[in-house]
Amino acid sequence: MKKLVIGAVAAAVLATSGVAAEYTLKFSHVVSDNTPKGKAARFFEQRLEELSKGRIDVQVYPSSQLYKDNAVLKALRLNSVQMAAPSFSKFGKIVPQLALFDLPFLFKDIDHLHRVQDGPVGEKLKEMVTKKGIVALSFWDNHFKQLSSSKKALIKPEDAKGQKFRIMSSKVLEAQFHAVGANPQMMPFSEVYSGLQQGVIDGQENTNSNIFTKKFHEVQKYLTVTNHGYLGYLVVMSKKFWKSLPADLQANVTQAMKEATEKEREYADDLNTKQFNLIKEYAEKTGKLEIINLTPEQRQAWADKVSKIYPEFYGERQIGKDLIEGALNTK
C-alpha cells in the first residue's frame, strides 16, 4: 500500500515535469538575480533544461545563498557544487594570472576587452584553468567599476589617501589602492553593505549593477564615475560533473553556454546604463549622494598614478609580462 502511494506521487511528479532529471546541476553565485551574471545564470538554467529535455535539473543559488566568494571554488573541486562564475580576482590562489583583468586602465573600452577575452590571451588563461582540473566554460561581463566613499569626494588620486576601501581578494587591487596611499581591506561581497553602513570601511569599488542591486549607494556620500577597472567572470564547471555527462548532454551544456554568453553581454551593457540611471535618480531625489564626473584630465591623473603598478605583476607567477603586453597590444 505504502509502495502504491509513493508510486502515485512519483507518477504525478513525472506527469508534471515530463521526465525525472538524471542530473542535478547546482550553480552558485554571490550577486543578485537582477545583474548580468544573475540574469544569464537564469537564462542558462532555462535553456539547458529545455535542450536536455529535463534530463539536467539546473538549480541557481544567487546572493551567496550557497557559498560566499572564494569558498565556491573549493566546493567546485569537490563537486559539492557543479557551476560557478567567480570574478577573476577570486581565482587568485588557483590561477593568479586571471588578475590580468583587474589591472586598472588596461582596457580602452569594453570592445577591446572582448577582443582580449576572445583572442589568444583569453584562450591561454582558460587553458591555465583547465590544467588545474576545472572546466573553463566562458567569460562573462559585469562592466567597469566606479569608486565611492562616505568620507571624502574622490576627485584627485590624493583624495583617496588614508581612506579604507573594500577590495576583493586580489593582489592587483591591493596594489592599486596602495598606489594612491589608501588602505585596502579584503572583504567578501556579502559583507560590503554592512561594512559601509557601520563605517568599518570608508569606500568601495564596484560596477553600477553591483552597487545598485546591493544598495551600496545608499550608504555612501560620494560616487565618482571612474570606469577605472573591469569586473568580469570566468564561468566554471566541476570536472567530475562534466565527465559524468554523456556526449549529448555535454553538447547541450556547450550550446546553452554559448547562447547564455551572447545574452550575458547584452544584459551587461543594458544594466550598466539602466542601473546607473537608477542610482542617479536616487541621488537627485534624496540629495544624499553626490555623483562626480571627472574631466578627461582628472581621469588621466588617476590612470597615471595606478598604472605604475603593472611592472609589479610582470613575474610569471604573478600575471606575466607577455599576458599584460598581449592584452595592451590586442587590436
> For binding to ligand LMR (CB under 6 A), which residues are involved?
30-31, 87, 142, 168, 189, 206, 210, 231
Lookup: cell for 250: 555535454
CB of 181 to ligand LMR, least distance (A): 22
CB of 166 to ligand LMR, least distance (A): 8
180 vs 268, beta carbon nearer ligand LMR: 268
30 vs 98, beta carbon nearer ligand LMR: 30
CB of 204 to ligand LMR, least distance (A): 8
**The residue type at 273:** T
CB of 20 to ligand LMR, least distance (A): 33
Q: How far is CA 80 from the centre of its chain?
A: 21
206 vs 330, beta carbon nearer ligand LMR: 206
Query: Which residue has 566606479 as its cell numbers?
Result: 146
210 vs 238, beta carbon nearer ligand LMR: 210
CA-closest candidate to residue 99, choices 232, 272, 227? 232
Please state, in angstroms and rounded to a whole number, the distance separating the CA atoms of residues 211 and 307.
Answer: 24
CB of 203 to ligand LMR, least distance (A): 13
Asked if residue 77 lies in contact with residue 222, where contact means CB atoms within 8 angstroms, the answer is no
Q: Is 299 helix (H, G, I), strand (E, B) or coil?
A: helix
52 vs 204, beta carbon nearer ligand LMR: 204
51 vs 223, beta carbon nearer ligand LMR: 223
CB of 185 to ligand LMR, least distance (A): 13
Please state, in angstroms and rounded to a whole number, the distance separating the CA atoms of residues 269 and 328.
Answer: 22
Q: Are strands 134-149 and 230-238 parallel, antiparallel or unpaired?
A: antiparallel
Pure H helices in 217-314: 239-244, 247-286, 296-306
Q: Any residues with CB less than 8 A from the CB of 132 and at least 6 apart, and which? A: 94, 95
